[in-house]
Amino acid sequence: MSTQALEAAKRKSEAVLTTAKESLADAPAVMKSAVENPKKASNDFLHTPFMRGALPFINGGLAGMPATAVIQPIDMIKVRLQLAGEGVKTGPKPTPLSVTRELLASGKALDLYTGLSAGLLRQAVYTTARLGFFDTFMKSLTERAKAKGNPVGFTERAGAGLAAGGLAAMIGNPADLALIRMQSDGLKAKAARANYTSVVDALTRIAKTEGVTALWSGAYPTVVRAMALNFGQLAFFSEAKTRLKDTSMSARTQTLTASAIAGFSASFFSLPFDFVKTRLQKQTRAPDGSLPYKGMFDCFKKVAKDEGMLRFYRGFSTYYVRIAPHAMVTLIVADWLGFITR
């Protein structure tokens, strides 16, 4: 019996060796074909099973990064607006212009790009995951709907958007936390500032001084905010594109219109959760070990009581100007990448 097993193993190894030799023998021809027809070689590579599964995630990350680079100054202003007047209902009401003037008064215009490295890392993780998951879920739902002879409905799109947003937010929370800490650092007294030099420095120091679990501070509202944002952005974008297909609009105009609708919907549904997320991620422990807020619901309760319900929508115009262009650039680039790699 053992002799038979050895013979079988020998035959198998010989077959693998023969296949390897044939592959090596074919390598020059494959390389020559790739040189002569690079477009075909590239197309063949893009249609391998591995690349078909990976492309939604790759395209998602590539789409989110240029969008973040464009809107980073607006995001900085949005965060400062949300942190202004914390715990106080009355007092001066900052505006986007006053916050911008205050930032520029220091003579450092580049301060508007504080936390850019964290923002780019967040996109590399969060947007890669959320667009990748959404596209993967939608493909699965489309195949299932086709098998039943039905179109994919808004409920399925909404479910895909909520699930993709929640999963991606959990993965991307450390980078999101680092971004908020870097952007809010300038609000502290000079002696109390952490003066993070990069996202790696921020993540390392937070993990070292507060513990690794601190990197997931505010994860609950971050997940809820991401689910609300993705429900508004991805579900409404997909639905709007489907509804606009039969109109006289060009494909480019359809994409622009659908992304503008998605940007407004995403802003409206997610801003209150984004506000709470910012407050929770910015907070650090007092000398006695206490924190201003115990969690998401405590933050909602205290802000509503001390600052008023409308505080949750403070800076809506800035938030929309931050979300809408980001959504439009991300979705348009993702749409284009999906088109050229299909």
pLDDT digits (tens, 9 = 90+) for 169-198: 999 999 989 988 998 888 788 888 889 999
Q: With contact defined as beta carbons under 8 Å apart, do 138 and 131 qualify?
A: no
Mean pLDDT over all residues of the chain?
A: 80
pLDDT band at 75 (very low <50, low <70, confident <90, very high): confident
Say how many CA atoms lie within 13 Å of 109 toward its Cβ: 0
The top-scoring range by mean pLDDT among 101-110, 111-120, 163-172 is 163-172
Q: What is the pLDDT of residue 277?
A: 86
Q: With contact defined as beta carbons under 8 Å apart, do 221 and 144 qualify?
A: no
Measured over the CA atoms of residue 82, residue 83, residue 87 and residue 88, the dihedral's sign is negative
Structure tokens at 125: 């993780």
Ramachandran sector of residue 315 (left: φ over 0; alpha: ψ -120 to 50; beta: rest) = left
* Torsion angle in degrees (nearest 10) through CA of 126, 132, 134, 137: -140
Q: With contact defined as beta carbons under 8 Å apart, do 71 and 320 qualify?
A: no
Low-confidence winner among 3-7, 27-31, 309-313 (lowest mean pLDDT)? 27-31
- How does pLDDT run across 125-144, given as a tens digit for each residue? 888 888 888 888 998 999 99
Structure tokens at 287: 């000398």
Structure tokens at 264: 């407004």
What's the pTM?
A: 0.64
Number of helices and strands in the chain (H, E): 13, 0
Report the alpha-carbon distance of residue 20 to residue 117 in Å, rounded: 44
Q: What is the DSSP string of 8-71?
A: HHHHHHHHHHHHHHHHHHHHHHHHHHHHH-HHHHHHHHHTSHHHHHHHHHHHHHHHHHHHHHHH
